[in-house]
Structure 1
């Protein structure tokens, strides 16, 4: 046998051995559809029943699609399941606990449906003349308040010119009287773009937040008013004349109204609702004197209201904390008492699932760990103690990979934190191909989550960073939280101001260097990817270095100037760079990947949603066209009928397969 044949056989044997070793990670690639996902967990008013909104896709079906179901579990563990044709959301128990309402598609518009808990009969309660966006049952159970756009029709496109400055419809507040056929009252006029609301305990008033104008660019200009349902008089909250106000919430005794506010007056006429200009505090309004005071803050300085304690002396809030994800804090109405953590867990609370029931005594939420898939849990608000109520994942094989918190020094000496995800058979003596996963935001953060999942927000799933897919390909995964990330306080969130692609880039690259220096990562097999801001940073990274062998940019900004004229948040870079491009365009040009496209040598996969209004697909087209004209290695996937993140199960599945195929270029 000649030497060339022997060498060829050795290469083949080593390749097979390496493939077999990779398969030991989990045994199956693209396995994210093997478990049920939880959208919402809500305890009944008396805490004796728990409603769980669940969706899943059959793992073995060729054509992936989401199946939806409503599970109701009673105090002895008996489960009733109602399968749904369409997605459901916004679970809301009736005050007497006999029925549960939710939003789902009607014949034409999104409507309110109601299910009798005892008989499990379902009927459409309200189909309005427009999509209903949100709703709440009145405490006395006699009516339902809801928000919906002004009268709309889902008809063919107009053949007449459209004035885009007037092509908007406000979300108004309405009241539906139960027991009276089709009786709906309009509560607010066109000058209010209603964003949130809450009922007074006596059902005689509604407090609501509103924007002065329609559009995401005005979402940090919310004010708060109180509507008297007897007189129809609207009273403005004085504090929010010069400050913002969102998430209004009545205390159970009716004496206070809590709301989230940016305590620093706005500097711009229009601002994006992001963490750069937010120093969020929870403030409370004395309902009699109309005076406001703000409470102690959380360490991250960006809390969101969950609800009041039953005793009306504390407000429960949720805020990010480093790689732990989200913690629940209690804020006393006495501003001199510091915030207190009431949830102390190693696992991850999914923030979109969490609720506080009508009696203010029971939390419900989806909870997961690195090795355990999400299940529904409840806890008393005081004292906080986890109680598992679902057992959806009993047949799902537990993941036994490892997620470790790591720290390193950036180029300027700043200590940066992140996560390193390794497989079950991780060998410390071996160097591994490294995938660098860049999170979105930038004011988001990686946290320890179930290793069979992805970066997920309900049905919105980022296909670029699904951990089991990456591990099965043979990568270990590095998840850095560079400056600009949330969970580390306002100063750290502000540290990337006017410095996109500067310090944050150095934080990521220094982390890669740290892993190479410790003989963990193989410098010859590096890949990078991410979605939204992560897509931008991926494109930016490969304009600055040729070290990466494959890259995936999902919904990434590539041209800051054109983005500012086409996105639904045109002030994004005004906020992050400090000025408009026509006033100071230096950073708009210098820090945009499109300005350095000639430097890219890394094979790049670009993915965009066809209907993305946040980062329009034109951003991807610009980069793709420039690279294609230079005959560079580039591919672009357009996800049909998808927005900023894909929600269609089959498209997500196929996208993950495309990601896997592309990343093999780095191996």
Structure 2
């Protein structure tokens, strides 16, 4: 049975074992003094509690707790932006990453520092343009690896893996020959090799990296998605989560060279009783000749030479991606079970390909990606799968932006669902907790080129919207602020368009905190598509009304 070790008022944000196993070092938020707390409570009680935005700031601190005595003591006063940290193998130093301010808008600048646990002194290890992160000590404690984006000014750029001496020196890029973005990585005990994961189109795979040869070799292959891997302390066993397009994620073990792989979990056994809609990776040519990849989920009971209603699901980011797994797309299989074909495009700007591709919609959002999506829809119509008269589109975050953009540019879609999407780029910039997003993708601030923001904002074309649209947004969304959807709702109401605006209390970005909200979200989406794509009569005839769903 678990035993509580800490009483941290600021909560535990992250933690690591000390090498001797007797203590745990953890990251927590600095707390105001007792006097300040009392003063704040008094002002709140008297309703004299105005405050200056940004004035009250608290550091992220490192504390240690003894496993046996449960006594905790502050180890390092930290700073406002301290986030990830790792303890050296000898337990004498901590490497930590900070952006100094703690402001998520300052994500393009992060450095690595070394804290000496014996004397409390700190030394800066990196001070380069861009953001270093995901730092890890070599087994002998003499070197560190870290990740860094190719383009320091574009945070979604593909990431490389670097190595640097622990006491300072010049870093070396270990993955210059690998045209994929490096994700998670782990050292092998000999310190000569690492295992790393890379996004690869609609899949993710594991690779081995030799430090001496700087050579990367694939460790896994096939139409599978490998994630969350790790190594045992002695390095003799590899463990990872494995999933594909027809089964749920399971934990597998293997040797470090991935021999003798076997599952050690068998979760959701009763799922075998259900029929899964077939998923297919598809590729098509966009209007400018680029090859674009995506996933088609055919409806249950699919029959050749029959056309089906199609729902286009647009991912967020735009540097997100759709993956060919059973759980990789929100509710796609549920829509397929109700007779819809579902199309998941990885349009330009998606991650998982190369850096040119992920950066290709800079200063072009809503243009090239729009053409990629629409050419994919046309491809499915040409194949005889999609019914051109029964099309729907949906997406969240940047996918919500693209949904808003698509229905302001064409009336080909019979229904749309816009979830926590951008409607007005100036509004989004002014209210989001990461306003640097607009600067990265548009290249300028709105006061420098206001026409650029207007040209790429769906609100400039709201008068063109003829598609019935369901708008969904969480009240507590600090990323894509709800004012975007309020503006869209207000305009559509005055235009006497067909719309519905649903707000979710307490929900942040994603509308995914509360189970009842998640269920409500899907049921409303299904009703909306059934009504405006299939028509009420056909919806009832096919038995897919909400009563049937319940």
CA deviations over 1:515-538 (Å, ceiling 9, x no partner): 112221100000000111111101
Q: Does 2:188 match 1:309?
A: yes
| CA shift in 2, pair 1:301/1:173, >3 Å | farther
1:211-222 aligned at under 5 Å gives the runs 211-222=99-110
Matched, 1:228 2:94: no
Following superposition, the deviation at residue 242 of structure 1 comes to 4.1
Partner of 2:218: 341
**Residue matched to 1:328:** 206
Query: For 1:410, which of 270, 283, 286 is the aligned residue?
Result: 286
Q: Deviation at 1:361?
A: 4.1
CA contact (8 A) 2:148 2:161 kept: yes
1:448-527 equivalence runs, <5 A: 448-450=324-326, 453=327, 455=329, 465-527=330-392
- The 5 A counterparts of 1:442-453 are 442-450=318-326, 453=327
- The aligned residue for residue 545 of structure 2 is none
Cα separation, 1, equivalents of 2:260 and 2:294: 28
Q: Report the alpha carbon displacement of residue 398 of structure 1 after superposing the two structures with TM.
A: 4.5
What do the CA deviations read for 1:597-618 (whole angstroms, capped 9, x no partner)? 1110100011111111011111
State the partner residue of 1:178.
67
Contact 1:172/1:193 (8 A) holds in 2: no
Gaps of 5+ in 1: 1-120, 456-464
What CA deviation, in whole Å up to 9, does each residue of 1:227-265 have, x standing for no partner? 11112111111x43445321110111212111112355x
Q: Does 1:419 align with 2:306?
A: no
C-alpha separation in 2, matches of 1:602 and 1:298 = 47
| Deviation string, structure 1 residues 27-61 (Cα, Å, up to 9, x no partner) | xxxxxxxxxxxxxxxxxxxxxxxxxxxxxxxxxxx
Q: 1: CA distance between counterparts of 2:233 and 2:407?
A: 51
Aligned to 2:258: 383
**1:379–1:171 Cα change, 3 Å:** farther
| Deviation of 1:203 (Å) | 0.8
The whole-number CA distance in structure 2 between the counterparts of 1:551 and 1:591 is: 19
Give 1:297 shift. 4.0
Structure 2 gap ranges (5+): 535-550
TM-score by length of 1: 0.75
Structure 1 residue 661 displacement after superposition: 0.4
- Deviation, 1:287, is 2.5
Instruction: Give 1:142 deviation, angstroms.
Output: 2.1
Offset of 1:176 from its aligned partner? Answer: 2.2
- Report 1:347-358 matches (<5 A): 347-349=224-226, 351=227, 353-358=228-233
Correspondence list, 1:596-611, <5 A: 596-611=461-476
Give the match for residue 117 of structure 1: none
The alignment status of 1:124 with 2:4, answered yes or no, reads: yes
1:590 counterpart = 2:455: yes
Contact 1:305 1:315 in 2 (8 A): no
Partner of 2:76: 187
- Displacement of 1:281 after TM fit? 1.5
2:148 equivalent in structure 1: 261
1:440 aligns with 2:306: no
Q: Tell me, yes or no, if the aligned pair for 2:241 and 2:249 is still in contact at 8 Å.
A: yes
Instruction: Tell me what 1:293 maps to.
Output: 172
d(CA) in 2 for partners of 1:169, 1:524: 56
Equivalent-residue separation in structure 1 for 2:518 and 2:26 (angstroms):
32
Which residue in the other structure is 1:147 paired with?
27
RMSD over aligned Cα atoms: 2.1
Does the Cα contact within 8 Å between 1:168 and 1:214 map onto a contact in 2? no
| 2:425 and 2:438 in contact (8 A); partners too | yes
Task: Name the CA distance, whole Å, in 2 between partners of 1:181 and 1:406.
Answer: 56
Alpha-carbon distance in 2 for matches of 1:398, 1:655: 23
1:647 equivalent in alignment to 2:513: yes
1:209 aligns with 2:121: no
Alpha-carbon deviation of 1:630?
1.2
Aligned position for 1:49? none
What TM-score comes out, normalization by structure 2 length? 0.90
Conserved in 1, the CA contact under 8 Å of 2:163 and 2:171? yes
- In structure 2, the CA distance between the partners of 1:210 and 1:666, relative to structure 1 (3 Å rule), is same
Question: Measured at CA, do residues 359 and 560 of structure 1 come closer, stay the same or move farther in structure 2, by a change above 3 Å?
Answer: farther
* Per-residue Cα deviation, 1:73-97 (whole angstroms, up to 9, x for no partner): xxxxxxxxxxxxxxxxxxxxxxxxx
Cα distance 1:123–1:621, how it changes in 2: closer, same or farther (>3 A)?
same
Using the TM superposition, give the Cα deviation of residue 160 of structure 1 relative to its aligned residue in structure 2, in angstroms: 2.4
CA distance in 1: counterparts of 2:260 and 2:498, whole angstroms:
53
Residues 483-509 of structure 1, C-alpha deviation per residue, up to 9 Å, x if partnerless? 001111000011101000000000000
1:14 corresponds to: none
CA shift, 1:170, in A, is: 3.0
Q: Distance in 2 between matches of 1:563 and 1:161?
A: 25
Give, in angstroms, the shift of residue 343 of structure 1.
2.1
Aligned with residue 13 of structure 2, among 130, 133, 142: 133
- Per-residue deviation, 1:189: 3.3
**Alpha-carbon deviations, 1:91-143, whole Å to 9, x = none?**
xxxxxxxxxxxxxxxxxxxxxxxxxxxxxx22111120212111011111121
3-state SS of paired residue (1:446): coil
CA deviation profile, 1:432-456 (whole Å, cap 9, x unmatched): 1111111111111111111xx463x
